[in-house]
Structure 1
């Protein structure tokens, strides 16, 4: 599943209700087309699909007569559940694919929508998974030509390991920042980023 689904749900949730142009404008202002591979057309497709799946519902708007027809959406209870599930999954599951990187970026965007303890638990789970992946990569590098031929293909494993080492360092830093009270989280009694605060 792509990062677009979480990002679209998150932006609609943040606004309380939003139309497609608002969601598109918000995501493009974050440069999500670059770091999450979100194509503008996929935003409208995601909105329609999630309405069909009953994760979003259409709400009345105050459009001016003769103005553009803009359909506004808000999360249903199932949409809120889906948002929370995707957010937790994308933070907790270590996936070194390109899609995995996009999903992690989307999840970090809405990290403050979680209670602090839950965010910490999910990130620690990811660190544990990553430790196993790093051990596998080191084992391949240390015990011969498990990567096949030609020999220089082993450089891909070195690149993979270096990337995982950097991710591990960043994750541990994020955990430390959260433990020391960094960022306003959902249970801090203040308006956290990604919480429903705006209306169309």
Structure 2
């Protein structure tokens, strides 16, 4: 999944309309440079591509006292649909960058939907972790290839961390943290 598309669609959705610099600045306040591979150039490229695909609508140029005018964008119906589809996929992902993007925008969905997605993700993460742990004895340190046991340990730890995080987030959502869509 291209997480940058979720970020761009999500920020434009949050603001109602935005230009590229506003999207970049908003994401900068979230410090996404510390937890994603999203770079400023990919934001501007995504804006152009999403507009070309009909997911964003160009609204015209907003004048700026700080330099040249900036093109404003808003979400189309197709863009809203892609945003929601990517958001649900992100909340179902084991990938930390994708899951993080999903958590950043999860309030766009009803609480019951987010809880269902996270519970499903938690069950899959727990099952994957158990499956990886069962495989470990089959690959002693001197097995061929020699790095297999270490990789299984790395993957097990990574998936277990996602499962623990998800479990805690589910508990906070069940306790009423966050204001979700429709509340």
TM-score, with length taken from structure 2: 0.91
Determine helix, strand or coil for the equivalent of 1:54: coil
* Aligned with residue 140 of structure 1, among 121, 135, 139: 135
Deviation, structure 1 residue 135: 2.1
Which structure's residues are more often strand, by fraction?
2
- 1:164 & 1:6 partners in 2: Cα distance? 23
| Native 8 Å contact 2:62 2:71 kept in 1 | no
* Aligned with residue 156 of structure 1, among 139, 151, 154: 151
- 1:7 & 1:60 partners in 2: Cα distance? 21
Determine helix, strand or coil for the equivalent of 2:57: strand
- 2:3 & 2:53 partners in 1: Cα distance? 17
The 5 A counterparts of 1:77-116 are 77-94=77-94, 100-116=95-111
CA RMSD of aligned residues (A): 2.2
Deviation, structure 1 residue 66: 10
Q: 1:59 to 1:147 in 2, by over 3 A?
A: farther
Deviation, structure 1 residue 60: 3.5
* Aligned with residue 114 of structure 2, among 104, 108, 119: 119
TM-score, with length taken from structure 1: 0.84
| Native 8 Å contact 1:58 1:72 kept in 2 | yes
The 5 A counterparts of 1:1-200 are 1-63=1-63, 68-94=68-94, 100-145=95-140, 148-149=143-144, 151=146, 153-188=148-183
Q: 1:133 to 1:66 in 2, by over 3 A?
A: closer
Q: Higher RCO, 1 or 2 (CA under 8 Å, sep at least 6)?
A: 1
Q: 1:107 to 1:141 in 2, by over 3 A?
A: same
| Native 8 Å contact 2:132 2:156 kept in 1 | yes
Pick which of 14-23 and 150-159 moved more. Answer: 150-159
| Native 8 Å contact 1:63 1:69 kept in 2 | yes
Determine helix, strand or coil for the equivalent of 2:54: coil
Q: 1:34 to 1:53 in 2, by over 3 A?
A: same
